[in-house]
């Protein structure tokens, strides 16, 4: 939950218009939805080897399939990690 300077719940439009979107502009990040941060978090955690069930629970999903099918995205780092794993299998 986000609160205002006086401790009241911040309105979603204020969060987006006063904080989130200006931050994206200042950092040069293309506009995204606030909700997209959940997808990014899931992808980054899975990319670091976090067990999918843990990521699913962190996001509050009812099934691991939601996390893997809708929230995670394959990255070049994941492809590289898989290729290195296969190379290790064939070397050993």
Question: Do 12 and 40 share a structural domain?
Answer: no
Question: Do 68 and 53 share a structural domain?
Answer: yes
* Per-chain mean pLDDT for the chain: 91
How many C-beta neighbours within 10 Å does residue 59 have? 15
Question: Do 22 and 53 share a structural domain?
Answer: no
pLDDT greater than 80 at residue 2: no
Instruction: List Cβ neighbours of 7 (8 Å cut-off, separation of 6 or more).
Output: none
Q: Which domain holds residue 17?
A: 1-32
The domain tally of the chain equals 2
Region of 83 on the Ramachandran plot (φ > 0 left; ψ -120 to 50 alpha; else beta): alpha
Q: Calculate the alpha carbon distances from 78 to 20, 43, 65, 85 in Å.
A: 28, 10, 18, 10
Question: Do 26 and 58 share a structural domain?
Answer: no
Question: Do 87 and 42 share a structural domain?
Answer: yes
pLDDT range class, residue 77, cuts 50, 70, 90: confident
pLDDT tens digits along 23-67: 999 999 999 999 999 999 999 999 898 999 999 999 999 999 999
Question: Do 67 and 25 share a structural domain?
Answer: no
């Amino acid at each position: 939950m986000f609160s205002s300077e006086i401790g009241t719940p911040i309105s979603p439009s204020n969060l987006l218009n006063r904080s989130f979107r200006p931050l994206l502009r200042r950092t040069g990040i293309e506009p995204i939805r606030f909700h997209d941060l959940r997808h990014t978090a899931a992808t980054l955690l899975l990319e670091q080897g976090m067990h999918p069930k843990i990521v699913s629970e962190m996001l509050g999903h009812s099934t691991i399939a939601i996390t893997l099918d809708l929230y995670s995205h394959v990255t070049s780092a994941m492809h590289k990690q898989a290729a290195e794993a296969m190379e290790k299998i064939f070397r050993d």
